């Protein structure tokens, strides 16, 4: 299944060939890959089209770029804390709400809790199927907060200490 998904992902971005022996990578226990540099470039290029990170999202906000940051977590998670400037739309509501609330030509960035949460991927898939240009903010709310970007909850701004394991902390 994993090989089929990877092959279909590469095919979606115009990569026509795929190494037949990719399954040997896990058996080899080595850092050597059978993928060609061209295949690897296509893979990473595809990821960069579909993903972004908290640092780039915050920089885009500060630069005044036009996009909507969508928190796709539960209402309880939203109330507990979210990226300042985000809108809340649980991923199960996107199909109904997005066409009424977000113009189709507006770029969308989605996030969920953390790297261990796939709600952002579910949401991105729904947005893409609706015709939106969408990206997933990898790391989710966890990395947004840990990197020290503005967080708010229902009562206002929330301060989190900047985590030195995810970025440079200046004194």
Q: Which residues are catalytic?
A: 112
Among the listed residues 69, 39, 66, the one whose alpha carbon sits nearest the alpha carbon of residue 52: 69
CA–CA gap between residue 87 and residue 96 (Å, rounded) = 15
Could you tell me whether strands 87-88 and 134-138 are parallel, antiparallel, or unpaired per DSSP bridges? unpaired
Judging by beta carbons within 10 Å of its beta carbon (0-12, 13-18, 19+), is residue 97 exposed, middle or buried? Answer: middle
CB 120 within 8 A of CB 111: yes
């Amino acid at each position: 299944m994993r090989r089929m998904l990877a092959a279909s992902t590469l095919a979606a971005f115009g990569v026509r060939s795929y190494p037949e022996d990719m399954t040997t990578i896990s058996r080899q226990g080595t850092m050597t890959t059978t993928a060609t540099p061209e295949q690897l470039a296509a893979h990473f290029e595809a990821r960069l089209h579909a993903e972004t990170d908290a640092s780039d999202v915050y920089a885009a906000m500060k630069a005044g770029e036009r996009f909507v940051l969508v928190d796709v977590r539960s209402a309880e998670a939203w109330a507990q804390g979210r990226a300042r400037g985000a809108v809340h739309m649980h991923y199960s509501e996107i199909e109904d709400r997005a066409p009424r609330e977000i113009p189709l030509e507006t770029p969308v960035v989605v996030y969920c809790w953390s790297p261990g949460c796939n709600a952002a991927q579910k949401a991105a898939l729904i947005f893409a199927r609706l015709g939106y240009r969408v990206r997933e903010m990898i790391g989710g709310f966890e990395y947004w907060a840990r990197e020290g970007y503005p967080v708010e909850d229902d009562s206002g701004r929330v301060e989190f200490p900047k985590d030195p394991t995810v970025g440079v902390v200046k004194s």
